[in-house]
Structure 1
Amino acid sequence: MSDPIDPSVPPSGSGCVDCDAAGGWWFHLRRCAACGHVGCCDDSLSRHAAAHWRSSGHPIIQSFEPGEDWFWDYSTDGYYEGPDLAAPQSHPEAQTVPGPHDRVPGDWMARLQNRAD
């Protein structure tokens, strides 16, 4: 396998690329350490970060939340020690969680709690 991390690649944007394309919303964001794809976490309804791993084979993600710098390896289901990635390190601090603000439904907590696993 080639190196699962490319520290020179910037993130694909400030929100989940796939949710943005579909007009959806997310809970927390994760960044692919290989290509910079920003996707929503496994607690989000669409789980786009994990879907990106399954479709691309890029197993390492980093939290894209302000103040968090941990990495996760989907292939081992465990934490991973990774280098500093290209800036920015997170979505803007003013961006709401969940987000984006104008697309988050009023009953978002119930939707997340009642999602089909």
Structure 2
Amino acid sequence: MTLPAGIDPSVPPSGTGCAECEAAGGWWFHLRRCAQCGHVGCCDSSPAQHASAHARDAAHPFIRSYEPGEAWFWNYETEEMYESGPDLAPPLAHPADQPVPGPQGRVPSNWPETLRR
């Protein structure tokens, strides 16, 4: 199988949470994993939208959901969703006991009001 440019199945994820939110003490709603370099960032509904910023800044078009039980991919260049794709290096999702939104202790009580739509 020939993989599209922008997907490297050998690269593991960068961590269990959004790298930039972790560094800044922020929080996220859902997590996305760059299919090229493994960068884990927060989704576009999250306040900071780090996954799409990474895709734009690094020119890495493909992400995969980093949520347990989800295997879909998204291409930022074409705005296409794929229900599945190639197997990536494990782990395929953040730990199942990690809360959503997360991380625990940093999510404001009014978090639903702060989501981007």
Same fold (TM over 0.5): yes
TM-score, with structure 1 as normaliser: 0.92
Is residue 2:111 matched to residue 1:108?
A: yes
Match of 1:17 in 2: 19
Give the whole-Å Cα distance in 2 for the aligned partners of 1:98 and 1:34.
25
* Coordinate RMSD, CA, aligned: 1.3
For this pair of structures, how many residues does the alignment match?
Answer: 113
Aligned-pair CA distance for 1:111: 1.4
Q: 1:76 aligns with which of 75, 78, 84?
A: 78
Give the whole-Å Cα distance in 1 for the aligned partners of 2:6 and 2:85.
10
Give the whole-Å Cα distance in 2 for the aligned partners of 1:32 and 1:111.
24
Secondary structure of the residue aligned to 1:85 is coil
Query: After the TM superposition, which residues 1-117 of structure 1 pair with which residues of structure 2 at under 5 Å, given as runs?
Result: 3-80=5-82, 82-112=85-115, 115=116
Give the whole-Å Cα distance in 2 for the aligned partners of 1:104 and 1:24.
8
Q: Structure 2: 5+ residue runs without aligned partners?
A: none
Give the whole-Å Cα distance in 2 for the aligned partners of 1:67 and 1:85.
14
Q: Structure 1: 5+ residue runs without aligned partners?
A: none
Moved over 2 A (4+): none
Aligned-pair CA distance for 1:82: 2.3
CA distances 1:11-48 after superposition (whole Å, capped 9, x unpaired): 00000001001000000000000000000000000000
Amino acid at match of 2:23: A
Select the structure that is richer in helix.
Answer: 1
Give the whole-Å Cα distance in 2 for the aligned partners of 1:88 and 1:62.
12
